[in-house]
Amino acid sequence: MGELIAGIEGTPAGVRAALVLALMAAFLHALFGALQKGRFDPWISRAAIDICAGLMAAPVALFVVPWPEAHMWPVFAGMVVIHICYKVLQAMTYQRGAFTVVYPVVRGSAPFFAVIGSGLLFGEHFNAGQWAGLGVLLAGIFGLALYNLRTVTVDRETMVPALALACATGAFVALYTNYDAWGVRATRDPFTFIAWFFFLDSLFMPLYTLRRWRNFPSQDVVPLLKKSVLGAFVAYFSFGSIMMATRLGPVGKAAVLRETSTVFAALIGWLVLGEKVGPRRTAFMALIATGAVIVELAGGG
């Protein structure tokens, strides 16, 4: 499989595959966020998902994929630190704010910084049309967030700190997007990076949340386990898709396309979490999708 990925890198087929993978990652990331935000404590939810993901990754990392090269261990160390900060901020955000309010801010603050980072790290640069598309997308995302801020009544007392934490989380989304894209390009086999990522990334949250588990209702263990297994599979395909997209195509473009996850998040919030959408939110979602299309078309995609 690694040879197949290497074979289409830098080709038109690779660019097309990156587009599909980035959009797949968008939907799956929104689904993952809803799974973590659900009816359980977001700290417990994330820890349970990580346990399942780590148990799935361990045999693959240890016995299936090629062993990481020596230079990859410092890369993995940096990756773990960045993702720990991201997870803590994300859980703090979801603990304080409604999903449809904080999620657009997390995702909306990320693509701009991701594009800047991809220019510094990989020498990628957007043209005027792509910057215009990014502006349209950001207008839609932040417009949706401001509208939600004015109209949503859930968690009003913690809304301001939730939004501040959402912005900080978005900064770490941009950081890990570029760092992980650099990491997956630094190894011969991208599946080695993905397997070891999930194995190492699964260790922190279960240990960090040990005290919270003492008060977790026993009758909720089985429902949480079912959701966590699903969440682990979603995480694999979401992270794997965006990593393959950033290896096959431009990192900045993949990061922008992934932010159409805000559209999917609003739909999930409406259909699954029972949060209202309405015509104004629909218009903002259309603006987000339009911005992503402009970025893709202006870049010759």
pLDDT digit string (tens) for 133-172?
888 888 887 887 788 777 776 667 777 788 889 889 988 9
Domain that holds residue 104: 2-298
81: confidence class by pLDDT, cuts 50, 70, 90: very high
Q: Which pTM value belongs to this model?
A: 0.77
At 103, the pLDDT band (50, 70, 90 cuts) reads confident
pLDDT digits (tens, 9 = 90+) for 269-290: 777 767 666 778 778 877 877 8
Phi, psi of 64 (to 5 degrees): -110, -60
Neighbours of 131 (CB within 10 A): 16
First to last CA, the chain: 25
- pLDDT average, residue stretch 190-211: 92
User: Does residue 62 register a pLDDT over 90?
Assistant: yes
CB 18 within 8 A of CB 248: yes
Number of domains making up the chain: 1
Q: Does residue 51 have a pLDDT over 80?
A: yes
Dump pLDDT digits (tens) for 4-17: 665 666 677 777 88
Contact (Cβ atoms closer than 8 angstroms) between residue 264 and residue 31: yes
pLDDT bin (cut points 50, 70, 90) of residue 36 is low
Question: So what's the pLDDT on residue 18?
Answer: 83
H/E run at residue 97: none
pLDDT of residue 1: 54
Region 80-97: mean pLDDT is: 89
Q: Is 212 left (phi over 0), alpha (psi -120 to 50) or beta?
A: alpha
What is the structure's pLDDT at 84?
94
What number of residues does the chain have? 301
